[in-house]
């Protein structure tokens, strides 16, 4: 059946901000869907609140709504746009849940809108575990025993029938939030209670545990003619019990016979038919008992997912794109396979390599959190690698993670050297390791290696971990190879052995450690022996047909398939796995760089290892190398491609780190020189530069020892901001209020980065902060925008809400900020992007930080202004001038609309971690609110960030002495005028009452009961305004913060944020929050 | 131990032996299935062929006693990227290497199988030789050029059964497909064994057939004396046009008995109906080939293993209806007679290895028997 002609317009719902469990894979899928549906001639209407996405670029849809993804806002958009259909399967759980609400509250019926891709019945059957279980029974498939409960009593009844361990899964939560495994009654009690609280419908599933079973996933597609194909099978390295997003996963399945595989395939087909997903892709998870092959269906996602993004990258089959085409009526046999062009999409990809994905966690940012892995996803990103063997792919994936490891150990980072241990120590370590790997945790794989080195057998390790012996055997082979390599001398090693080591995935750095030499020596010797990687092609068909798509990976084999063209080539290095502080924003910049340079006629080559991204879509670039971003891997590609230049400043800190070394290896770095980058990073040199230009900066110093640090801090004066040098995302950054806290910090920080000193800055408490993103071509500077932070200085810029254009700034200060920006860009000889952070206090403008590279705010500024900064920067790096690009006269101050960015935090995934914002970045994503006035933009940003602003009720106030001023009085008066009643701790209450503002008194947390926390927990408070100053009150605030978070009560920590929130509440009450597309906003400017 | 693979175009690959240490020759073909190496190795249709798996990691789940398609491995040799000597599967009872050694089959690992596959794809299937004994390239090349070409070879007579036997086994593993018996009565079906895969026999039995498996040379007259309800023409190796005796026998069965053919059986039926067959450049071998059923419009993902194909233009279109085509290259995958009870398919509805999408063809055969 050809595509539907009865529909003209399609509304696509995005997934909103990046959160744990829902990351940029949905930008990848949504972008594909937008692209293909427009190409098919449909009018595409897109809704997504996340400005950092490629999909929300104005050219990807006919009407792009950067609006909150809630039923209320969707209705406004539907009313305005009158789409024929909604495609809800591209935006993760967020889009599906919103679509369900729209169907159930009658909006779809009212406006005559149809759901395509998955209908309401199918979504509900797949999402509602009770309906799902019944469906599986009908399909003759087994699912785990258990049942749904709405109370602890019901839960206990079911628990009696199944026995421990028991899995607890709350209904309708993201990434399994609030779920867990209980091994005893006590745990069961607390976990069920927590789960019930997390579930929006107060329901949890109590289920038989299949911990230790093998876990598989199949990616399935179905069309309107009921043709069903399996795109990819995925086998989890970690057995059942660990969320698949937190598991190391491998594609294709490795340890299933054909008989077993076909059984899963048949079951998948039955599942998709029974659930009734008419078109598109689904992900189906199975548990398989390793003892007898018994199969259980675990769950099904009736939409594209993180796994389908992985499967797309792993096979070359663009699941989201094809799913979108199927949704508008095409059948699989009518769609050509993108890669072969000549064969149809109605086939099952055959792959001839092994793919390994490893998650990345950022637990170190969340003090005191439980880092064990279970049914609730905790990872923030992932790296994927491709090799011809599992061993090669595993080691490549480990070095792709960029967590300081160069492979599976032997890289100078091992915590033990087994050869140097005494027998007693060996026994001690054996015991420790057996204990450690019982519980799944990040990095357990390194402990498995130690275990093998210490003589634990595959059987023992399998008994402890449940990891399939085949994987353990492959790890043992790597360990054995390491031993063999260690028995050789570097000078005498044979080409055969060195080649074998490379085939096993050993990096030059590991080999250098093994042979006690330097990485460049290994590289030189290897090249002399002509042991260089070849590049194979990902082609969906295992070479059965000729492929025209240049999607490559490296391996050490015979034939090289990557044809080097004679074109002028530019390589863009991507950002690697997502982490807090380096996420989708950098992928956005990379993709823009690719698009811009292709427009300029260059052949653009992308290197990246993050499967969630748009940059690793082979449709995006001229050539894609799915490779780790280490120096070795990048140099290998440069050796082969001989590019004109490499761009390192779009992918965040990852590629930037290699800039110097690449240049030393004769590679041309496009844009700001590594020297310029270094100048900005080096505090001393940068300080000199600032002094030369009479630019003010907060007092600072550098310390190499603990005592030294205390002296420096005393000279500057407390509070001070301390951090190790060379960091991104404020990693390990802290504000210290005393010598004691500084000393305890230093003890940790020196561990973080032993080669680098610790930087100590004066902390400007209560200052305003601004961010500027600009492009410089060496001569002219184009300021993309000046953003004002809503939170005070000292809170990481990535965690602050900010506004463009600034909402509270004098013309003089703004001019000064812009002048300094221009001066700095020229002084650093910036070519490309630069970000500057400023603070103002008492009318003095301070420069806090300069980064001559793409910043996290580039996409936000671009969306707010309509000026594609990253594209302009890329063209400038390739030699164009700002004048030639016609950007010289741009002035963001002329914008008629106001855009607000708000950060989104993962605190609800990490119970009891401090929720107070600080200099260390902890947000995972961002949203944007845009409108013609400040209040409405703030309101939208808060709604989009899922911060519910109250429209009535009681406000709890606790302001510090500095804040007991006219500003807080006005806030209190405004709140009263809006109909809120006030309650406050004694100091604040006295202050308000003395100014004739009526206010109830309530105990502080440590004063007595009922206190403020009790009131929050009892639902008596709808809004918390709590401004602490100084170390002690900050720590007090944690309990209030957690109570607010757990009870979903709005919570602000600065007067400016409070005043902002009030403006938003006023707008909402006035009913002045309407929707408009980005295209319309940009037209009016 | 070092082993070498020599191709007739002079390309030599050096690897490591993991099977029998000797010399073996055959036509080198590739299979794109990611699972099912044990079924592939025991499929008699691979007789005379050296098989390379495009999937690089082989041996992972070992070998077991159930997943066999004939009494022994049939391929002449096995080429892989990386062999795993450590099987992990609850049904495994030995590793692949020792099993190959036991059955005296060569195996070579450490080969750039993707390069080899691309070479076969662009040049066509080639004769090849695996040796652990002779590592001299010149001598190997001389030997490989003396290996007979596949075209013109009757290999069916090499793999067929010596004498007739009855078959009544179904799939008893936990993985058997549901059986959809159409009626209580059991059909007597005669199977011409040109190299039949066990799973065809298992599936026919599951659908309610009493099978008598006959040697390929048994004259049609003898078969008709048994008065079966229907005749099944099996898969098998080699060039169909060279199996002249079979074509003649089938001619005598047309009009007399309902006939169902698979793979070589499909080609022989076409030849018996006056059609022609030809050699494909590199054949279809794998478990992911899309076949369109022209009668329903549905796409089936199929298991395939053939180096020759039926030329659909050579068939009398007034009598024969093309029922299935391959969506990758539009080659013929099945036909039926418009008035007589006979149909056949080029691919493998019995799967093993491969997807089960086409199992309905066995049911279709049962319906045909019922109508007769």
Domain stops at, among B82, B116, B144: B144
Neighbours of A234 (CB within 10 A): 24
- Interface-testing mutation among B12, B31, B35, B51, with chain A (most A C-beta atoms within 10 A): B35
pLDDT exceeds 90 at position A607:
yes
Domain stops at, among B144, B172, B203: B144
- Whether B158 and chain A come into contact, CB under 8 Å, resolves to no
- Whether B281 and chain A come into contact, CB under 8 Å, resolves to no
Helices (H), ranges, A719-810: 739-752
Residue A839's nearest CA partner among A699, A1000, A938 is A699
Instruction: Say whether B35 and A258 touch across the interface (CB within 8 A).
Output: yes
pLDDT exceeds 80 at position A674:
yes
B151: in domain: no
Task: Classify A196 as helix, strand or coil.
Answer: helix
Q: In sequence order, which residues have a C-beta less than 8 Å from that of residue A791 and are 6 or more positions away? A: A769, A799, A800, A801, A917, A1053, A1054, A1056, A1057
Assess whether B140 and B167 both reside in one domain: no
Instruction: Say whether A347 and B353 touch across the interface (CB within 8 A).
Output: no
Q: What is the pLDDT of residue A1004?
A: 84
Query: For the purposes of burial, counting CB atoms within 10 Å of the CB of A292, is it exposed (0-12), middle (13-18) or buried (19 or more)?
Result: exposed
CA nearest to A504 within chain B: B82
Q: What is the pLDDT of residue A752?
A: 46
Q: How far is A639 from A436, CA to CA, in rounded Å? A: 42
pLDDT tens by residue, A488-523: 999 999 999 999 999 999 999 999 999 999 999 999
Assess whether B186 and B231 both reside in one domain: yes
Instruction: Say whether B327 and A390 touch across the interface (CB within 8 A).
Output: no
Instruction: Say whether A390 and B117 touch across the interface (CB within 8 A).
Output: no
**Residues in A 283-312 with any Cβ partner in B closer than 8 A:** 290-293
Q: How far is CA A251 from CA A231, A355, A432, A451, in A?
A: 11, 5, 32, 26
Phi, psi of A167 (to 5 degrees): -90, 140
Q: What is the pLDDT of residue A732?
A: 67
Q: How far is A282 from A299, CA to CA, in rounded Å? A: 10
* pTM of the model as a whole: 0.95
Nearest to B61 among A256, A346, A559 (CB): A256
Q: In sequence order, which residues have a C-beta less than 8 Å from that of residue B349 and are 6 or more positions away? A: B203, B262, B302, B358, B359, B360, B361, B362
Query: For the purposes of burial, counting CB atoms within 10 Å of the CB of A967, is it exposed (0-12), middle (13-18) or buried (19 or more)?
Result: middle
Nearest to B301 among A229, A259, A260 (CB): A229
pLDDT tens by residue, A692-722: 999 999 988 888 888 888 899 999 999 898 8
Phi, psi of A938 (to 5 degrees): -65, -45
Query: Of B263, B300, B306, B333, which is the active-site residue?
Result: B263
pLDDT tens by residue, A18-61: 999 999 999 999 999 999 999 999 999 999 999 999 999 999 99
Q: What is the pLDDT of residue A276?
A: 93
Q: What is the pLDDT of residue B216?
A: 97
Cross-strand pairs, B343: B260, B336
B91: Cα separation from own chain's centroid: 24
Task: Classify A762 as helix, strand or coil.
Answer: strand
Q: How sure is the predictor about A755, in pLDDT bands with cuts at 50, 70 and 90?
A: low
| Residue A344 DSSP code | B
- Whether A265 and chain B come into contact, CB under 8 Å, resolves to yes
Q: How sure is the predictor about A916, in pLDDT bands with cuts at 50, 70 and 90?
A: confident
Whether B255 is a known active-site residue: answer no
pLDDT tens by residue, A770-824: 999 999 999 999 999 999 999 877 788 889 999 999 988 999 999 999 999 999 9
Whether B350 is a known active-site residue: answer yes
Domain that residue B168 falls in:
156-371
Q: In sequence order, which residues have a C-beta less than 8 Å from that of residue A727 and are 6 or more positions away? A: A653, A733, A753
- Whether A520 and chain B come into contact, CB under 8 Å, resolves to no
E-assigned strands of B18-135?
23-31, 49-53, 57-58, 77-79, 82-83, 106-109, 126-131
Assess whether B304 and B331 both reside in one domain: yes
Query: For the purposes of burial, counting CB atoms within 10 Å of the CB of A153, is it exposed (0-12), middle (13-18) or buried (19 or more)?
Result: exposed
> Which long-range contacts does B10-16 make (Cβ < 8 Å, 24+ apart)?
B10/B141, B11/B119, B12/B137, B12/B140, B12/B141, B13/A558, B13/B79, B13/B108, B13/B111, B13/B112, B13/B116, B14/B110, B15/B79, B15/B108, B15/B109, B15/B110, B15/B111, B16/B108, B16/B109, B16/B110
Assess whether B68 and B110 both reside in one domain: yes
B150: in domain: no
Residue A289 Cα, gap to closest chain B Cα (Å): 9
- Whether B302 and chain A come into contact, CB under 8 Å, resolves to no
**Residues in B 181-200 with any Cβ partner in A closer than 8 A:** none
Query: Contact A1063/A934 with Cβ under 8 angstroms?
Result: yes
Half-sphere exposure of B184 (CA within 13 A, CB side): 0
Query: Which residues in chain A have Cβ-Cβ distances shorter than 8 Å to B88?
Result: 255, 468-470, 473
Query: Which residues in chain B have Cβ-Cβ distances shorter than 8 Å to A232?
Result: none
pLDDT tens by residue, B295-328: 999 999 999 999 999 999 999 999 999 999 999 9
Q: How sure is the predictor about A759, in pLDDT bands with cuts at 50, 70 and 90?
A: confident
Q: What is the pLDDT of residue A707?
A: 84
* Secondary structure of A643-710 in HEC code, one letter for each residue: CCEEECCCCCHHHHHCHHHHHHCCCCECCCCHHHHHHHHCHHHHHHHHHHCCCCCCCEEEECCHHHHH
Q: What is the pLDDT of residue A208?
A: 85
Q: What is the pLDDT of residue A918?
A: 78
Q: How far is B199 from B204, CA to CA, in rounded Å? A: 8
CA nearest to A255 within chain B: B61
pLDDT tens by residue, B194-207: 999 999 999 999 99
Q: How far is A336 from A548, CA to CA, in rounded Å? A: 13
- Whether A160 and chain B come into contact, CB under 8 Å, resolves to no
Query: In this structure, what is the dihedral angle of CA atoms A800, A806, A808, A810, given to the nearest 10 degrees?
Result: 130
Residue A535 Cα, gap to closest chain B Cα (Å): 11
User: Of all helices (H) and strands (E), which one includes residue A311?
Assistant: helix A306-315
Instruction: Say whether B34 and A351 touch across the interface (CB within 8 A).
Output: yes
Instruction: Say whether B54 and A352 touch across the interface (CB within 8 A).
Output: yes
Query: For the purposes of burial, counting CB atoms within 10 Å of the CB of A742, is it exposed (0-12), middle (13-18) or buried (19 or more)?
Result: buried
Query: Of B266, B324, B337, B348, which is the active-site residue?
Result: B348
Instruction: Say whether B82 and A252 touch across the interface (CB within 8 A).
Output: no
Residue A167 Cα, gap to closest chain B Cα (Å): 26
Q: How far is B305 from B235, CA to CA, in rounded Å? A: 9
Query: Contact B366/B182 with Cβ under 8 angstroms?
Result: yes
Helices (H) and strands (E) in chain B, counts: 10, 19
pLDDT tens by residue, A6-27: 999 999 999 999 999 999 999 9
pLDDT exceeds 90 at position A341:
no
- Whether B240 and chain A come into contact, CB under 8 Å, resolves to no
Question: Between chain A and chain B, how many beta carbons pairs sit less than 8 Å apart?
Answer: 173
Q: How far is A358 from A446, CA to CA, in rounded Å? A: 13
Cross-strand pairs, B292: B299, B325
Q: In sequence order, which residues have a C-beta less than 8 Å from that of residue B191 and are 6 or more positions away? A: B167, B200, B201, B204, B211, B212, B213, B214, B231, B232, B234
Q: In sequence order, which residues have a C-beta less than 8 Å from that of residue A989 and are 6 or more positions away? A: A957, A983, A999, A1000, A1001, A1002
Residue A347 Cα, gap to closest chain B Cα (Å): 5
Please list the pLDDT of chain B residue by residue as tens digits (372 residues): 999 999 999 999 999 999 999 999 999 999 999 999 999 999 999 999 999 999 999 999 999 999 999 999 999 999 999 999 999 999 999 999 999 999 999 999 999 999 999 999 999 999 999 999 999 999 999 999 999 998 899 999 999 999 999 998 888 887 888 766 656 678 999 999 999 999 999 999 999 899 999 999 999 999 999 999 999 999 999 999 999 999 999 999 999 999 999 999 999 999 999 999 999 999 999 999 999 999 999 999 999 999 999 999 999 999 999 999 999 999 999 999 999 999 999 999 999 999 999 999 999 999 999 986
B100: in domain: yes
Instruction: Tell me how far apart the 2 most distant CA atoms of chain A are, in Å.
Output: 88
Phi, psi of A715 (to 5 degrees): -65, -40
Q: How far is B244 from B257, CA to CA, in rounded Å? A: 20
**Residues in A 90-109 with any Cβ partner in B closer than 8 A:** none
Q: What is the pLDDT of residue A385?
A: 98
pLDDT exceeds 80 at position A1031:
no
Asked if omega into A595 is within 30° of 0 (cis), the reply is no
Neighbours of A312 (CB within 10 A): 29
Q: How far is A345 from A354, CA to CA, in rounded Å? A: 22
- Whether A255 and chain B come into contact, CB under 8 Å, resolves to yes
Assess whether B132 and B196 both reside in one domain: no
Residue B224 Cα, gap to closest chain A Cα (Å): 36
Domain stops at, among B144, B176, B201: B144
B149: in domain: no
Assess whether B130 and B185 both reside in one domain: no
Instruction: Say whether A558 and B32 touch across the interface (CB within 8 A).
Output: no
- Interface-testing mutation among A142, A258, A497, A502, with chain B (most B C-beta atoms within 10 A): A258
Domains held by chain B: number: 2
pLDDT exceeds 80 at position A458:
yes
Instruction: Say whether B174 and A473 touch across the interface (CB within 8 A).
Output: no
E-assigned strands of A481-546?
534-537
E-assigned strands of A150-194?
166-170, 180-182
DSSP secondary structure, A218-280, as one string: EEEEE-TT--EEEEEEEEESS-TTS-GGGS-EEES-SS--HHHHHHHHHHHHHHHHHHT--SE
Q: How far is B125 from B131, CA to CA, in rounded Å? A: 19
Q: What is the pLDDT of residue B181?
A: 61
**Residues in A 771-830 with any Cβ partner in B closer than 8 A:** none
Assess whether B245 and B299 both reside in one domain: yes
Rg of chain A in Å (alpha carbons)? 28
pLDDT tens by residue, A212-233: 899 999 999 999 999 999 999 9
- Whether B39 and chain A come into contact, CB under 8 Å, resolves to yes
A35: Cα separation from own chain's centroid: 23
pLDDT exceeds 60 at position A1032:
no
Half-sphere exposure of A575 (CA within 13 A, CB side): 33
**Which strands, in side-by-side order, build the sheet including A1000-1001?**
A1000-1001, A981-984, A954-959, A1023-1027, A1050-1052
Q: What is the pLDDT of residue A908?
A: 78
pLDDT exceeds 70 at position A83:
yes
B26: in domain: yes
Whether B324 is a known active-site residue: answer no
Query: For the purposes of burial, counting CB atoms within 10 Å of the CB of A635, is it exposed (0-12), middle (13-18) or buried (19 or more)?
Result: buried
C-alpha dihedral sign at A671, A675, A678, A679 = negative
- Interface-testing mutation among B36, B88, B111, with chain A (most A C-beta atoms within 10 A): B88
Assess whether B250 and B113 both reside in one domain: no
Residue B22 sits in a domain of what CATH number?
3.50.30.20
Query: Which residues in chain A have Cβ-Cβ distances shorter than 8 Å to B328?
Result: 342-344, 347, 545
DSSP secondary structure, B297-331, as one string: --EEEEEEEEEEEEEGGGS-TTTEEEEEEETTT--
CA nearest to B30 within chain A: A544
Q: What is the pLDDT of residue A767?
A: 87
Residue B364 sits in a domain of what CATH number?
3.40.50.880
Assess whether B135 and B224 both reside in one domain: no
Q: How far is B136 from A724, CA to CA, in rounded Å? A: 62
Helices (H) and strands (E) in chain A, counts: 37, 38
The mean pLDDT value for A822-834 works out to 96
Q: How far is A637 from A787, CA to CA, in rounded Å? A: 38
- Of A237-241, A723-727, A871-875, A1034-1038, which one has max mean pLDDT? A871-875
A256: Cα separation from own chain's centroid: 32
- Whether A390 and chain B come into contact, CB under 8 Å, resolves to yes
**Residues in A 215-234 with any Cβ partner in B closer than 8 A:** 225-227, 229-230
Nearest to B173 among A259, A332, A546 (CB): A259
Assess whether B128 and B197 both reside in one domain: no
B98: in domain: yes
- Whether B86 and chain A come into contact, CB under 8 Å, resolves to yes
Assess whether B130 and B190 both reside in one domain: no
Query: Contact A1013/A1040 with Cβ under 8 angstroms?
Result: yes
- Whether A655 and chain B come into contact, CB under 8 Å, resolves to no
pLDDT tens by residue, A377-416: 999 999 999 999 999 999 999 999 999 999 999 999 999 9
- Whether A533 and chain B come into contact, CB under 8 Å, resolves to no
Instruction: Say whether B54 and A390 touch across the interface (CB within 8 A).
Output: no
Assess whether B306 and B167 both reside in one domain: yes
Phi, psi of A291 (to 5 degrees): -80, -35
Half-sphere exposure of B189 (CA within 13 A, CB side): 35
pLDDT tens by residue, A297-322: 999 999 999 999 999 999 999 999 99
């Amino acid at each position: 059946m050809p595509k539907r002609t009865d529909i003209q317009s399609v509304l696509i719902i995005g997934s909103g901000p990046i959160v744990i469990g829902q990351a940029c894979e949905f930008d990848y899928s949504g972008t594909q869907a937008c692209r293909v549906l427009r190409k098919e001639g449909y009018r595409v209407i897109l809704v997504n609140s996340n400005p950092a996405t490629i999909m929300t670029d104005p050219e990807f849809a006919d009407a792009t709504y950067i609006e909150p993804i809630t039923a209320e806002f969707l209705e406004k958009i539907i009313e305005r746009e009158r789409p024929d259909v909604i495609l809800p399967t591209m935006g993760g759980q967020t889009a599906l849940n919103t679509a369900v609400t729209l169907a159930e509250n009658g909006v779809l019926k009212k406006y005559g809108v149809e759901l395509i891709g998955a209908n309401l019945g199918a979504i509900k059957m797949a999402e509602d575990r009770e309906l799902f279980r019944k469906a599986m029974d009908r399909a003759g498939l087994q699912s785990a025993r258990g049942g749904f409960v709405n109370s602890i009593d019901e839960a206990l009844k079911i628990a009696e029938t199944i026995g421990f361990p028991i899995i607890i899964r709350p209904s309708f939560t993201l990434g399994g939030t609030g779920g867990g495994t209980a091994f005893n009654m006590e745990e069961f009690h607390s976990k069920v209670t927590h789960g019930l609280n997390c579930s929006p419908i107060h329901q949890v599933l109590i289920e038989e545990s299949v911990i230790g079973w093998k876990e598989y996933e199949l990616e399935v597609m179905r069309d309107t003619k009921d043709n069903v194909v399996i795109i990819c099978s995925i086998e989890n390295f970690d057995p059942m019990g660990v969320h698949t997003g937190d598991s190391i996963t491998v594609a294709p399945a490795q340890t299933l016979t054909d008989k077993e595989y076909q059984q899963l395939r048949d079951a998948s087909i039955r599942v998709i038919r029974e659930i009734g997903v008419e078109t598109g892709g689904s992900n189906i998870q199975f548990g398989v008992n390793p003892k007898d092959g018994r199969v259980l269906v675990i769950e099904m996602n009736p939409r594209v997912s993180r796994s389908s993004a992985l499967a797309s990258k792993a096979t070359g089959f663009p699941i989201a794109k094809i799913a979108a085409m199927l949704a508008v009526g095409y059948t699989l046999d009518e769609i050509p396979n993108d890669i072969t062009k000549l064969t149809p999409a109605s086939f099952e990809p055959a792959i001839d390599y092994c793919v390994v994905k490893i998650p990345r966690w950022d637990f170190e940012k969340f003090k005191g959190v439980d880092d064990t892995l279970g049914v609730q996803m905790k990872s923030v990103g992932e790296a994927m690698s491709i090799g011809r063997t599992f061993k090669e792919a595993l080691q490549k994936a480990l070095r792709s993670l960029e967590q300081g490891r160069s492979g599976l150990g032997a890289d100078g980072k091992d915590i033990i050297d087994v050869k140097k241990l005494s027998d007693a120590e060996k026994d001690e370590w054996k015991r420790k390791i057996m204990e450690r790997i019982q519980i799944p945790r990040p990095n357990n794989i390194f402990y498995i290696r130690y275990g093998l080195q210490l003589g634990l057998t595959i059987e023992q390790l399998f008994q402890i971990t449940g990891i399939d012996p085949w994987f353990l055997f492959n790890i043992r082979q790597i360990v054995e190879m390491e031993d063999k390599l260690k028995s050789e001398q570097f000078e005498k090693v044979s080409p055969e052995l060195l080649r074998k080591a490379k085939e096993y995935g050993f990096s030059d750095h590991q080999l250098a450690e093994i042979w006690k030499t330097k990485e460049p020596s290994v590289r030189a010797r290897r090249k002399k022996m002509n042991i260089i990687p070849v590049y194979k092609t990902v082609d969906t068909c295992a070479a059965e047909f000729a492929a025209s798509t240049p999607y490559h990976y490296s391996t050490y084999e015979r034939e090289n398939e990557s044809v080097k063209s004679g074109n002028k080539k530019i390589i863009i290095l991507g950002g690697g796995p997502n982490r807090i502080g380096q996420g989708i924003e950098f992928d956005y910049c990379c993709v823009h760089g690719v698009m811009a340079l292709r427009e300029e006629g260059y052949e653009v080559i992308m290197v990246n290892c993050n499967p969630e991204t748009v940059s690793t879509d082979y449709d995006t670039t001229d050539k894609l190398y799915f490779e780790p971003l280490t120096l070795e891997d990048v140099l290998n590609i440069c050796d082969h491609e001989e590019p004109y230049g490499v761009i390192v400043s779009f992918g965040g800190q990852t590629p930037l780190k290699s800039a110097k070394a690449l240049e030393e290896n004769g590679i041309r770095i496009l844009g700001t020189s590594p020297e310029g980058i270094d100048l900005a990073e080096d505090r001393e040199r940068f300080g000199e530069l600032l002094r030369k230009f009479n630019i003010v900066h907060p007092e600072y110093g550098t310390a190499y020892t603990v005592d030294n640090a205390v002296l420096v801090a005393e000279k500057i004066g407390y509070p001070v901001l301390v951090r190790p040098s060379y960091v991104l995302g404020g990693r390990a950054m802290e504000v210290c209020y005393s010598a004691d806290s500084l000393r305890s910090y230093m003890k940790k920080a020196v561990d973080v980065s032993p080669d680098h000193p610790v930087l100590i800055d004066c902390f400007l408490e209560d200052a305003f902060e601004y961010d500027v993103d600009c492009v410089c071509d060496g001569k002219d500077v184009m300021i993309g925008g000046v953003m004002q932070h809503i939170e005070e200085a000292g809170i990481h810029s990535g965690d602050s809400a900010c506004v463009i254009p600034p909402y509270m700034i004098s013309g003089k200060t703004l001019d000064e900020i812009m002048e300094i920006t221009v001066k700095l860009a020229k002084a650093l000889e910036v070519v490309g992007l630069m970000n500057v952070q400023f603070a103002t206090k008492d009318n003095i403008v301070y420069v806090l930080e300069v980064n001559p590279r793409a910043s996290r705010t580039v996409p936000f500024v671009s969306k707010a202004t309509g000026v594609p900064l990253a594209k302009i920067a890329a063209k400038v790096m390739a030699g164009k001038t700002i004048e030639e690009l016609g950007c010289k006269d741009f002035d963001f101050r002329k914008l008629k609309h106001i855009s607000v960015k708000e950060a989104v935090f993962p605190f609800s995934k990490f119970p009891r971690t401090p929720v107070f914002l600080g200099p260390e970045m902890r947000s995972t994503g961002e949203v944007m609110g845009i409108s013609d006035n400040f209040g409405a933009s703030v309101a939208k940003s808060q709604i989009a960030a899922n911060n519910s602003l109250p429209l009535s009720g009681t406000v709890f106030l606790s302001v510090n002495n500095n804040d007991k001023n006219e500003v807080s009085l006005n806030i209190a008066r405004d709140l009263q005028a809006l109909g809120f009643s006030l309650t406050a701790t004694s100091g604040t209450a006295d202050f308000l009452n003395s100014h004739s503002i009526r206010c109830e008194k309530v105990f502080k947390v440590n004063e007595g009961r009922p206190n403020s926390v009790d009131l929050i927990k009892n639902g008596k408070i709808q809004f918390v305004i709590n401004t602490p100053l100084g170390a002690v009150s900050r720590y007090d605030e944690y309990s209030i913060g957690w109570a607010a978070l757990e009870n979903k009560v709005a919570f602000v920590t600065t007067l400016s944020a409070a005043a902002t929130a009030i403006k938003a509440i006023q707008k909402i009450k006035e009913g002045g929050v309407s929707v408009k597309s980005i295209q319309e906003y940009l037209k009016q400017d | 131990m070092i082993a070498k693979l020599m191709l007739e175009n002079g390309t030599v690959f050096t690897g490591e032996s993991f099977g029998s240490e000797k010399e073996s020759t055959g036509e080198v073909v590739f299979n794109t299935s990611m699972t099912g190496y044990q079924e592939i190795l025991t499929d008699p249709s691979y007789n005379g062929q050296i098989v390379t798996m495009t999937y690089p990691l082989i041996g992972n789940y070992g070998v077991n006693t159930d997943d066999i398609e004939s009494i022994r491995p049939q391929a002449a040799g096995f080429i892989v990227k990386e062999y795993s000597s450590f099987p992990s599967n609850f049904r495994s009872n030995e590793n692949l290497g020792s099993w190959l050694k036991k059955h005296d089959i060569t195996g070579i690992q450490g080969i750039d199988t993707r390069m080899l596959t691309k070479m076969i794809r662009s040049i066509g299937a080639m004769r090849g030789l695996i040796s652990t004994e002779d590592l001299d390239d010149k001598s190997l090349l001389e030997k490989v050029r003396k290996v007979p070409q596949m075209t013109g070879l009757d290999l069916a007579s090499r793999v067929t059964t010596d004498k007739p036997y009855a078959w009544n086994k179904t799939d008893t593993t936990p993985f058997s497909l549901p059986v959809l018996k159409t009626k209580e009565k059991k059909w007597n079906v005669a199977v011409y064994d040109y190299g039949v895969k066990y799973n065809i026999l298992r599936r026919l039995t599951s659908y309610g057939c009493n099978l008598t498996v006959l040697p390929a040379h048994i004259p049609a007259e003898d078969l008709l004396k048994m008065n079966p309800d229907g005749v099944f023409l099996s898969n098998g190796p080699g060039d169909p046009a060279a199996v002249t005796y079979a074509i003649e026998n089938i001619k005598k069965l047309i009009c007399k008995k309902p006939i169902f053919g698979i793979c070589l059986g499909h080609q022989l039926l076409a030849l018996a109906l006056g059609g022609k067959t030809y050699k494909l450049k590199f054949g279809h071998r794998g478990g992911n080939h899309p076949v369109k059923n022209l009668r329903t419009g549905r796409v089936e993902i199929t298991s395939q293993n053939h180096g020759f194909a039926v030329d659909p233009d050579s068939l009398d279109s007034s009598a024969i209806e093309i029922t299935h085509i391959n969506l990758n290259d539009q080659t013929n995958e099945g036909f039926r007679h418009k008035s007589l009870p006979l149909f056949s398919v080029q691919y493998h509805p019995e799967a093993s290895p491969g997807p089960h999408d086409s199992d309905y063809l066995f049911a279709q055969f049962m319906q045909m028997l019922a109508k007769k």
